[in-house]
């Protein structure tokens, strides 16, 4: 059964209950993000909209922060940043990662050694450190954030794809393709990479989860784009006000947690579909 | 032989395995008797249930396994009704196992000595010091030298043969009544195989242990076992004294099995050769550098031979002899360190550089494992269309027509149905036919077959070999058959080269090789290769 | 002892070290603004000094020569001088390193132990309830943004219940508490926060490693010898399964330091992470780059040591 066909895929995926839960949560957040302007009661970043430190009420669903801003609205707009930034970063890094990984894995030799050294370097430098330094030098805005997160994420994907290609390369059908006279380009992208699709897809959701964590951490530390609302920024703001309002900490953090959790759950579900464990 | 009470008796055993995809009837009606001091064989092809039966004897069921019905009696004790603790007292002490591949069946992080004595300490409850002495004695008994060093070694430091001897030492350590040897020589090369089988023979006589030999190799059974059971699809379908089995089989399946094995051994076939020489290999060498130590490895060491149009040529050798490296060199997948290969009167490197397409068109390869040689994501039609599209200018319809022709030629009919299937929907034999179709699709002058039938069941082997012969006759394509199995080469090839450690030690017409071997290695290879008893050798015939 | 492997591994880290140095060098020079700026900062030093810096950096020389000078400087321990704090960068880093080391050691220990225990527990009955719950716990733990976890823990344990201190590494006034106890209470929350992510990953890794090992052929051999389940699990399987955990933890070192920066910020822990953040806010470029290099090289070296440790423990590599 070909699990990359939608019909078959869904049949197996829905057996993993947690995966389905994750998918639902994810879709809810996507929905909230898309329709944020419609759903928000108050436009974000307006101060003095209400009293500070209000508890959740009908008017302010999740309460207000130290400047009287509506937490619920902030949260909705924050969702947009989080999801968009992480998504673009993931797509970019995956494309780059697959390119590098497959070429390095297939050709081996110097290209491969270089790739392996590069990925080792990225493994050794603590990601936040690198991100902070880059942001400090080049400035903290949305574009840079996306670039920085992409730069941090592609080595992992490349490594993964390279490992798969290395083992697939030894399969007789790859040797047969060479023997038939297929061009290298076609062999890599028409014979080998399609067989790594399942790995790449699972990796997508996991990479996005990590991307969101990095983005929130950067914003939390104060190095995100301060002109836009983001959940990490909200937590940064809340750092001083533990005693006054724990909502300011709870809701943004819970949102990050839920989105990341849902992505990880979906990733697990995908993994179960593509690499089923053989057990009754 | 104690004819009164069998040591082991299996009655109508049925065992099913519950898997993700449904229920597998692994053992579906097995009846067996074993008497003290006997060596019996259980023979069958892969999937016949022979291993599963043996594991059930000790209640070593796989994940999801469940005994449905039947009775196993060992020395009067009902195995299936016994508790897990009771069975554990039997395992390793009264009944022990020898498995197929000692490299994976020995714990890599525990020393050999440790693994042997833990058995002794557990069952005989003696002190560690005494157990050590026993271990040393055992290892010497199985024919190992430098035993005190081996005790402290880890499995990976020993060769395959030595590892298997260690496993045997482990198995006999507590003086069992029965040893079950599950394909225990399959992973070894021919010469070691014979040594291990002789060892088992000696042990059985000396210490009076019964042995059950489980194998797919009829020749092994002929060599060792007095009685044999044949299994097929989970059932024991025939049982006889070994001689009777070979010369007077009763069941149809047994007859079929014997016939396939014999044909491989006996048939005399000669390829039709043309005049022109299409391949010349002149003093080639290939040196690899080992990854860790950077020692040079002479994978191919000064090999030369020639090949005519339409000829079927064999290269025989055990693993590590360099035969696969030669295949890769001929295919241009590797470069020679020195020497020259001339194909169709052009030097190979030049050929590949200047006229890559023509080179690739004229030389094709069939690989061993059918399961890896076809891209699982593509349809058969797509896989076969690819080489045609690369090398011939055809319309889409013409290509499809050609593909259907090819499928018919390899007897995959009706071809339209196979066109749209994916590899995993085909059996091993069918996939190999597709691989052959792919190889002939470019109308090559030379096809190299690297162990093309090794992974296939005996009954299918013959069919595939016959297919290759037909293709050779029809298209006059030359074939190089690479195999460790001399019987396959004897069946197919006109000339054979014997390889050992990278060199060709002997080369000549097949009759000369088989009837009048000159080199020492060839001789030992031939003696070690077990043969099934021939029809000519006995008196009554069916 | 397999020295050839040691040497080979040692050679492998040279390009990595080089890469780190190149990256940091490039970052200095790619930054908008003059490279001198990086060393002087905005404080507007006097022109004479600026000229001296220029010569010392060799800004009049080619890029390549500058790089050589740069490397020479680093290997002789000269990481520049921070003008914000008016001290040598190397000394600043050295002074502030210990709190981070303490935090890392305690978090790694906590995470590793906790992770191994639960991972082994989960693997003892694969695919059972205990396994599924353990893996879900792991999933939750590594989905948690660790700074949020820290904040929530502070709110619950420090603000609301007053059990543990809110921040910092030590109390201003010891009062009647012992020195050790005080340090300990300050260490608890940061350790749990930083260690929980590691625990989650280790849990999953150990569990899958154990299940992998339990499916190996040699386990069947052990069973066929009549050994008890317990013995097989602990003697035959565990050792094989836990070996790679060491390397795995080594791999996560970079990520843990990454987390340490954030945790130090949440808890006001006076280590290198907090130092980095201060340096970034102050635009103290010499300190920023100095920290970057020291941290990266430290991780490289420690990973190398962990590798060596692994080769010593795995007999397949230790003996040829």
Question: What pLDDT is attached to residue A279?
Answer: 46
Radius of gyration of chain A (CA): 22
Give the closest-approach CA distance of B93 to chain C in angstroms: 7
The DSSP secondary-structure symbol of C176 reads T
C221 interface with B at CB cutoff 8 Å: yes
What's the pLDDT score for residue A151? 92
In angstroms, the CA B41 to CA B209 distance is 14
Residue B380 backbone phi and psi in degrees, to 5 = -60, -40
Measured distance CA(C88)–CA(C93) in Å, rounded: 9
Q: Supply the mean pLDDT for chain C.
A: 83
The answer to whether B479 and B465 have CB atoms below 8 angstroms apart is: no
Which among C152, C255, C265 has the least Cβ separation from residue A127?
Answer: C255
Percentage helix, strand, coil for chain C under 3-state DSSP, each rounded to 5? 80, 0, 20
CA distance B277 to C274: 78
**Which subunits count as partners of chain C given 3+ CB pairs below 8 Å?**
A, B
For B274, other C-beta atoms within 10 Å of its C-beta total 12
Alpha carbon distance C191, C157 (integer Å): 14
Question: What is d(CA A264, CA C143) in angstroms, rounded to the nearest whole number?
Answer: 7
C315 contacts B91? CB cut-off 8 A:
no
The answer to whether the CB atoms of C19 and A250 lie below 8 A apart is no
Cross-strand partners of B10: B32, B72
ipTM of this model? Answer: 0.86
Q: Give me the residue label for tokens 């044909």.
A: B263
Residue carrying the six token digits 């790694």: C108
Measured CA to CA, the distance from residue B130 to residue B121 in angstroms comes to 9
Report angle CA C307, C250, C303 to the nearest 5 degrees.
50
Which chain B residues touch C221 with a CB distance below 8 Å? 97, 99, 105-107, 167
Give dist(CA C78, CA C80) in Å, integer. 6
Tokens, residue B424: 């995993």
What is the per-residue pLDDT for C200? 95
C37 in contact with chain A, both atoms CB, cutoff 8 A: no
Minimum Cα–Cα distance from C5: chain B residue: B292
How does residue A278 score in pLDDT terms, banded at 50, 70 and 90?
Answer: very low
pLDDT of residue A23: 93
Q: Token pair for residue B117? A: 């004595």
Helix, strand, coil share of chain B (percent; to 5): 40, 25, 35
Find the closest chain C residue to B170 by CA distance: C225
- Collapsing DSSP to helix, strand or coil, B310 comes out as coil
Cβ-contact B289, B454 below 8 angstroms:
no
pLDDT at B391: 87
Chain C nearest-CA residue for A124: C254
Within 8 A of A171 by CB-CB distance, chain B residues are 372-373
Chain C: residue nearest B156 by CA? C316
Is the CB of C224 less than 8 angstroms away from the CB of B93? Answer: no
- Whether A129 sits inside 8 A of C276 (CB atoms) is yes
Rounded CA gap, C57 and C79, in Å?
Answer: 12
Torsional class of C275: left (φ above 0), alpha (ψ -120 to 50), beta (otherwise) = alpha
> Could you tell me if B469 and B481 are in contact, meaning their C-beta atoms sit under 8 angstroms apart?
no
Contact B364, B439 (CB under 8 A): yes
- HEC sequence for A136-167: HHHCCCHHHHHHHHHHHHHHHHHHHHHHHHHH
Number of inter-chain CB pairs under 8 A, A vs C: 133
A2 touching B, CB under 8 A? yes
| pLDDT tens digits along C33-91 | 655 655 555 555 567 766 666 666 556 666 777 777 777 777 777 777 676 677 777 88
Which residues sit opposite B71 in a β-bridge? B11
- Residue in chain C nearest B158 by alpha carbon: C320
pLDDT value at position B537?
41
The pLDDT value recorded for residue B98 is 92
Alpha carbon of C129: minimum distance to chain B alpha carbons (Å):
17
Encoding tokens for residue C210?
Answer: 């154990």
The count of residues in chain B is: 542
CB atoms closer than 10 angstroms to residue C63: 11
Do the chains contact at A280 and B356, CB–CB below 8 Å? no
Chain C residues within 8 A of A243 when measuring between CB atoms: 159
Which of the residue ranges A88-102, A162-176, B175-189, B255-269 has the most confident prediction, judged by mean pLDDT?
Answer: A88-102
What does each of the 542 residues of chain B score in pLDDT, given as a tens digit? 455 788 999 999 999 988 767 788 889 999 999 998 889 999 988 778 888 999 999 999 888 888 999 999 999 889 999 898 899 999 988 999 999 888 889 999 999 999 998 888 888 888 888 888 888 989 998 888 888 888 998 998 888 888 999 999 999 988 899 999 998 887 777 778 888 899 999 888 888 899 999 988 888 888 889 999 999 888 888 888 888 888 888 888 888 888 777 776 666 667 777 778 888 888 888 888 776 666 778 888 889 999 988 899 999 988 778 888 888 889 888 888 888 898 888 888 888 888 888 888 899 998 877 667 888 888 899 899 988 888 888 888 888 999 999 899 888 888 888 888 888 888 878 888 899 999 999 889 999 998 888 777 777 888 888 888 888 888 889 999 998 888 888 888 889 999 988 888 889 888 888 888 888 888 878 877 776 666 544 333 33
Per residue in B469-501, pLDDT (tens digit) is 888 888 889 999 998 888 888 888 889 999 988
3-state SS, A28-49, equals HHHHHHHCHHHHCCCCCCCCCC
Partners of B372 on chain A (C-beta within 8 Å) are: 171-173
Is the Cβ of A194 closer than 8 Å to some Cβ of chain B?
yes
Closest partner residue to B154 (CB to CB) among C217, C223, C319 is C319
Tell me whether residues C143 and A250 touch, CB distance under 8 A: no
> CB of C173 within 8 Å of any CB in chain B?
no
| Distance to chain A for C192, nearest Cα, Å | 17
pTM here? 0.82
CB atoms within 10 A of CB A262: 25
User: C301 — contact with chain A (CB < 8 Å)?
Assistant: no
The residue to which tokens 């083992």 are assigned: A167
Measured in whole angstroms, the distance separating CA B491 from the mean position of its chain's CA atoms is 17
Residues A30-61 have pLDDT tens digits of 998 888 877 777 765 555 556 777 777 777 77
Instruction: Please report the pLDDT score of residue B542 as a whole number.
Output: 30
A-contacting residues of C 261-280, CB under 8 Å?
261-262, 265-266, 276-277, 280
Longest dimension (CA), chain C: 84
What is the reported pLDDT for B159? 84
Place of tokens 């052009």: B346
Using a CB-CB cut-off of 8 Å, the residues of chain A touching C33 are: none
* Neighbouring subunits of A (3+ Cβ pairs under 8 A): B, C
Question: What tens digit of pLDDT does each residue of A114-152 get?
Answer: 888 888 888 888 999 999 988 888 888 889 999 999 999
Which residues touch B373 (CB under 8 Å, ≥6 apart)? A171, A172, A173, A176, B366, B367, B431, B435
Spatial distance between the Cα atoms of C153 and C142, rounded to a whole number of angstroms: 16
Tokens, residue B184: 């225990």
Shortest CB distance from C254 goes to which of A126, A222, A256?
A126
Interface with B, mutate which of C9, C11, C225 (most B CBs under 10 A): C225
Radius of gyration of chain C (CA): 24
Q: How far apart are CA A267 and CA A206, in angstroms?
A: 6
C212 in contact with B at a CB cutoff of 8 Å? Answer: no
Closest CA to A222 of A96, A150, A136, A126: A136
């Amino acid at each position: 059964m070909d699990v990359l066909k939608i019909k078959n895929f869904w049949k197996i995926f829905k057996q993993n209950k947690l995966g389905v839960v994750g998918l639902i949560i994810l879709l809810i957040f996507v929905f909230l993000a898309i329709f944020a302007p419609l759903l928000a009661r108050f436009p974000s970043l307006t101060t003095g909209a209400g009293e500070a430190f209000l508890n959740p009420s009908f008017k302010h669903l999740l309460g207000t922060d130290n400047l009287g801003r509506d937490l619920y609205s902030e949260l909705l707009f924050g969702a947009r940043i989080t999801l968009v930034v992480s998504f673009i970063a993931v797509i970019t890094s995956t494309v780059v990662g697959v390119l590098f990984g497959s070429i390095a894995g297939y050709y081996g030799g110097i290209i491969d050694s270089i790739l392996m050294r590069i990925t080792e370097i990225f493994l050794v430098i603590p990601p936040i450190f690198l991100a902070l330094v880059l942001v400090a030098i080049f400035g903290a805005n949305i574009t840079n954030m996306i670039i920085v997160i992409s730069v941090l994420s592609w080595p992992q994907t490349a490594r993964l794809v390279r490992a798969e290609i290395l083992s697939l390369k030894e399969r007789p059908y790859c040797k047969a393709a060479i023997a038939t006279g297929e061009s290298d380009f076609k062999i890599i992208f028409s014979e080998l990479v399609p067989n790594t699709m399942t790995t790449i897809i699972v990796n997508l959701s996991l990479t996005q989860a990590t991307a969101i964590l990095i983005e929130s951490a950067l914003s939390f530390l104060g190095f995100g784009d301060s002109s836009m609302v983001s959940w990490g920024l909200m937590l940064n703001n809340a750092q001083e006000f533990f005693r006054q309002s724990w909502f300011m900490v709870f809701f943004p953090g819970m949102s990050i947690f839920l989105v990341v959790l849902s992505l990880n759950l979906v990733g697990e579900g995908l993994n179960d579909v593509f690499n089923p464990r053989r057990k009754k | 032989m104690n004819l009164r009470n069998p040591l082991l008796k299996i009655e109508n055993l049925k065992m099913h395995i519950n898997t993700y995809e449904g229920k597998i009837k692994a053992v579906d009606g097995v009846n067996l008797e074993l008497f003290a001091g006997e060596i019996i064989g259980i023979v069958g092809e892969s999937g016949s249930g022979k291993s599963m039966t043996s594991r059930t004897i000790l209640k070593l069921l796989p994940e999801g396994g469940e005994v449905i019905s039947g009775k196993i009696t060992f020395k009067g004790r009902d195995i299936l009704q016994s508790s897990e603790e009771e069975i554990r007292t039997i395992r390793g002490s009264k009944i022990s196992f020898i498995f197929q591949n000692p490299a994976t069946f020995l714990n890599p992080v525990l020393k050999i000595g440790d693994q042997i004595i833990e058995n002794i300490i557990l069952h005989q409850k003696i002190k560690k010091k005494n157990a050590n002495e026993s271990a040393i004695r055992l290892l010497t008994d199985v024919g190992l030298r430098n035993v005190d060093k081996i005790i402290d070694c880890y499995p990976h430091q020993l060769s395959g043969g030595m590892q298997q001897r260690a496993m045997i030492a482990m198995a006999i350590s507590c003086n069992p009544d029965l040893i079950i040897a599950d394909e225990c020589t399959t992973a070894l090369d021919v010469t070691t195989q014979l040594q291990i089988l002789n060892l088992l023979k000696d042990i059985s006589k000396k210490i009076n242990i019964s042995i059950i030999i489980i194998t797919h190799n009829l020749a092994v059974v002929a060599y060792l076992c007095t009685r044999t059971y044949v299994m097929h699809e989970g059932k024991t379908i025939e049982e006889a004294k070994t001689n009777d089995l070979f010369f007077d089989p009763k069941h149809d399946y047994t007859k079929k099995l014997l016939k396939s094995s014999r044909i491989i051994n006996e048939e005399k076939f000669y390829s039709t050769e043309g005049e022109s020489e299409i391949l010349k290999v002149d003093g080639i060498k290939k040196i690899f550098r080992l990854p860790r130590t950077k020692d040079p490895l002479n994978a191919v060491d000064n090999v030369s031979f020639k090949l005519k149009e339409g000829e079927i040529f064999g290269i025989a050798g055990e693993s590590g002899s360099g035969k696969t490296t030669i295949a890769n060199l001929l295919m241009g997948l590797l470069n020679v360190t020195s020497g020259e290969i001339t194909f169709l009167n052009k030097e190979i490197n030049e050929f590949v550089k200047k006229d890559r397409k023509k080179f690739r068109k004229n030389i094709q390869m069939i690989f061993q494992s059918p399961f890896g040689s076809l891209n699982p994501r593509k349809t058969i039609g797509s896989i076969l269309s690819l080489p045609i599209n690369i090398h011939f200018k055809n319309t889409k319809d013409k290509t499809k027509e050609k593909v259907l022709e090819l499928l018919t030629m390899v007897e995959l009919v009706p071809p339209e149905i196979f066109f749209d299937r994916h590899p995993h929907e085909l059996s091993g034999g069918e996939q190999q036919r597709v691989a052959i179709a792919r190889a002939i699709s470019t109308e090559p002058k030379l096809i190299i077959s690297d162990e093309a039938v090794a992974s296939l069941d005996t009954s299918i082997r013959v069919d595939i070999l016959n297919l290759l012969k037909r293709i050779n006759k029809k298209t006059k394509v030359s074939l190089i058959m690479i195999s460790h199995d001399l019987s396959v080469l004897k069946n197919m090839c006109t000339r054979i080269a014997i390889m050992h450690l990278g060199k060709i030690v002997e080369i000549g017409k097949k009759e000369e090789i088989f009837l009048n071997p000159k080199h020492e290695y060839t001789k030992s290879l031939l003696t070690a290769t077990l043969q099934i008893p021939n029809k000519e050798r006995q008196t009554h015939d069916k | 002892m397999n020295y050839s492997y040691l040497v080979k591994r040692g050679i492998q880290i040279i390009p990595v070290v080089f890469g780190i140095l190149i990256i940091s060098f490039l970052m200095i020079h790619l930054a908008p603004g003059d490279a001198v700026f990086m060393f002087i900062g905005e404080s507007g030093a006097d022109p004479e000094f600026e000229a001296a810096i220029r010569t010392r950096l060799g800004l009049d020389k080619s890029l390549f020569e500058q790089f050589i000078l740069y490397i020479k400087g680093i290997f002789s321990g000269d990481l520049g001088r921070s003008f914000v704090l008016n001290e040598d960068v190397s000394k600043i880093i050295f002074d502030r390193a210990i709190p981070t080391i303490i935090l890392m050691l305690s978090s790694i220990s906590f995470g590793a132990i906790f992770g191994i225990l639960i991972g082994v527990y989960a693997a003892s009955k694969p695919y059972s309830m205990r396994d599924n719950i353990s893996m879900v716990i792991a999933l939750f733990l590594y989905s948690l943004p660790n700074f949020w976890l820290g904040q929530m823990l502070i709110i619950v344990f420090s603000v609301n219940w007053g059990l543990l201190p809110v921040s910092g590494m030590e109390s201003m006034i010891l009062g009647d508490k012992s020195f050790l106890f005080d340090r300990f209470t300050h260490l608890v929350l940061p350790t749990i926060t930083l260690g929980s992510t590691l625990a989650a990953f280790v849990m999953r890794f150990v569990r899958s490693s154990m299940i992998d090992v339990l499916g190996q052929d040699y386990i069947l051999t052990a069973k066929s010898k009549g050994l008890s389940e317990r013995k097989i699990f602990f003697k035959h399987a565990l050792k094989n399964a836990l070996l790679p955990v060491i390397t795995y933890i080594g791999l996560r070192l970079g990520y843990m330091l990454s987390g340490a920066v954030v945790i130090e910020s949440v808890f006001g822990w006076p280590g290198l992470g907090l130092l980095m953040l201060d340096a970034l806010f102050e635009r103290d470029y010499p300190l920023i780059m100095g920290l970057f290099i020291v941290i990266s090289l430290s991780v490289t070296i420690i990973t190398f040591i962990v590798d060596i440790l692994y080769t010593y423990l795995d007999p397949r590599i230790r003996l040829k």
